[in-house]
Chains A and B, each alone.
Chain A
Amino acid sequence: MSLTDDMKAGLQAPICLTWELTYACNLQCVHCLSSSGRRDPRELTTTEAEAVIDEIQRMQVFYVNIGGGEPTIRPDFWHLIDYCVDHDVGVKFSTNGSRIDPRVARELARSDYVDIQISIDGADAATNDHVRGEGSFATALTAMDHLADADFGEFKISVVMTRHNIGQLDQFADLAHRYGAQLRLTRFRPSGRGAATWHELHPSDQQQRDLYHWLLDRPDVLTGDSFFHLSALGEALPGLNLCGAGRVVCLVDPVGDVYACPFVLHDDFKAGNVRDEGGFERVWRNSELFAGLREPQSAGACASCGEFDACQGGCMAAKFFTGIPLDGPDPECVNGYGEELVAAAAGATRPLVGADHSRPSPVKFLGRR
């Protein structure tokens, strides 16, 4: 058995557990995977959140990726971070930077077990703010300045790759270098509000190829192994090349619902809730949904493709939200098989995005640029 086969069969606990602490956010990014904006009144209380941490400590989930929404908006955010660290659970949290002031930065610099990821989606204000909202680039850079001033060390700069920013790869690398930060590039999936903006923002075929070669030359750039569908272009990208949903990856959302991955906030991929009897452990180990995802999957329409071993048919979330069957090709299949299917599915009833917490003011998308 290869390592990939071991991973496919599922683990005793996730390797990559994402925990979104709140749906509240001060921004309204047009591609937000969790359609965040307003807090949900059913969000886990501090005591319930502590119980989740106790449980993942018992299960030896060694670290969590905390996100939201903007997680730092929760009044008990810093307490929960401390609680994690005190319970052998390392933390990496994603933030838009709005709450990282000099004092917070100094506080964070003191812990070895807390890692920070600041999100930007453009290497300049115009490109970034187009997607993340006005002033958000300046806010993120100010947070980075504070972390640098506090000698935090190597934080992460996280970028979702879109049609507008793939041309800025070198600028992102320079920016990270200037801050002594690590660059992390991840794939844009049509999840949450991203479903509505995907057609506008997802990279072109040529851009995917450029990105692939750029990444091959820079193995130190982190990707969360999210571009494995590009491994079909030739040499495999480093990392675990498979869809980890329900196998090594899962999401706990702010109300405690457990989904197969952060990019499939939809009832079809909801495995249970941490408030249910048996808690998270029972959901992870015994839910029907996860058991199904750990079964050998059919290669479906990709079976005849010579690249299947490398690409594994791509991302389940990307297929689902573009209306492609789950055993079909990825919508961004490098051989172009996805495009036709996306076109065919347009107009047909596409799955609705689940749990939408966008603020009532309509999201203003600034259109093509």
Chain B
Amino acid sequence: MGCVGSTEPSMKFDIDRAYRLNDRVALRPEPFGALAYHYGNRRLNFLRAHDLVTVIESLAEHETVRSAFDAAGIAGPRRPAFEKALASLAESDFLVAT
């Protein structure tokens, strides 16, 4: 456990690491993308882009988030937005580092 002020690298979302969807999270396809539900913390997340869902589902097959982005063609200005979305999902335990 680092001190409160430190940014412990292992805790921070890192697009050069591998992540996958938490086993306790289920995705439900919706017209706008998908609804993600975490059975453990009972939180609900709206994934409001179809390729965001694609990326999340493909995470387990990639060594890094970056390569999942590349494979799904997430480039340019969309990348920071996607990175932010994934970071917040990781923070709320929807994604886990592997």
- Residues of chain A whose beta carbon lies under 8 Å from any beta carbon of chain B: 1, 3, 6, 9, 11-13, 15, 60, 62-63, 88, 90, 112-113, 115
Are A60 and B28 within 8 A (Cβ)?
yes
Known: A88-B26, A112-B40. A6 touches B35 (CB 8 A): no
Which of B5-13, B42-50, B70-78, B83-91 interfaces with chain A? B42-50
Are A6 and B39 within 8 A (Cβ)?
no
A63 to B39, CA, bound (A): 9
Interface size on B, residues (CB 8 A): 14
The answer to whether the Cβ of B82 comes within 8 Å of any Cβ in the partner chain is no
How far does the Cβ of B42 sit from chain A's closest Cβ, in whole Å? 7
Complex contacts, B35 vs chain A, CB 8 Å? 11, 15, 60
A62 to B28, CA, bound (A): 9
DSSP class of A's interface residues: helix, strand, loop or mixed?
loop
The answer to whether the Cβ of B31 comes within 8 Å of any Cβ in the partner chain is yes
DSSP class of B's interface residues: helix, strand, loop or mixed?
strand
Are B42 and A90 within 8 A (Cβ)?
yes
How far does the Cβ of A103 sit from chain B's closest Cβ, in whole Å? 25
Known: A9-B31, A112-B40, A113-B39. A60 touches B46 (CB 8 A): no
Interface string of B38-76 (1 = CB under 8 A from A): 011010101010000000000000000000000000000
Complex contacts, A62 vs chain B, CB 8 Å? 26, 28, 37, 39, 44
A255 to B39, CA, bound (A): 29
Q: A3-B48, A11-B31 are in contact. List 7 more A-B contacts (CB 8 A).
A: A12-B31, A15-B44, A60-B26, A60-B37, A63-B42, A112-B40, A113-B39
Complex contacts, B32 vs chain A, CB 8 Å? 1, 6
B13-38 contacts to A (CB < 8 Å):
26, 28-32, 35, 37
A62 to B24, CA, bound (A): 11
Which of A1, A12, A90, A115 is the one whose CB lies under 8 Å from B30? A12
Complex contacts, B42 vs chain A, CB 8 Å? 63, 90, 115
Are B31 and A90 within 8 A (Cβ)?
no
A11 to B29, CA, bound (A): 9
A92 to B20, CA, bound (A): 28
Which of B28, B31, B37, B46 is the one whose CB lies under 8 Å from A3? B46
Complex contacts, B30 vs chain A, CB 8 Å? 6, 11-12
A10 to B44, CA, bound (A): 16
Please name the residue on chain A nearest to B40 by beta carbon.
A112
Are B26 and A6 within 8 A (Cβ)?
no
A13 to B31, CA, bound (A): 11
A1 to B46, CA, bound (A): 13
Please name the residue on chain B nearest to A2 by beta carbon.
B48
A11 to B35, CA, bound (A): 10
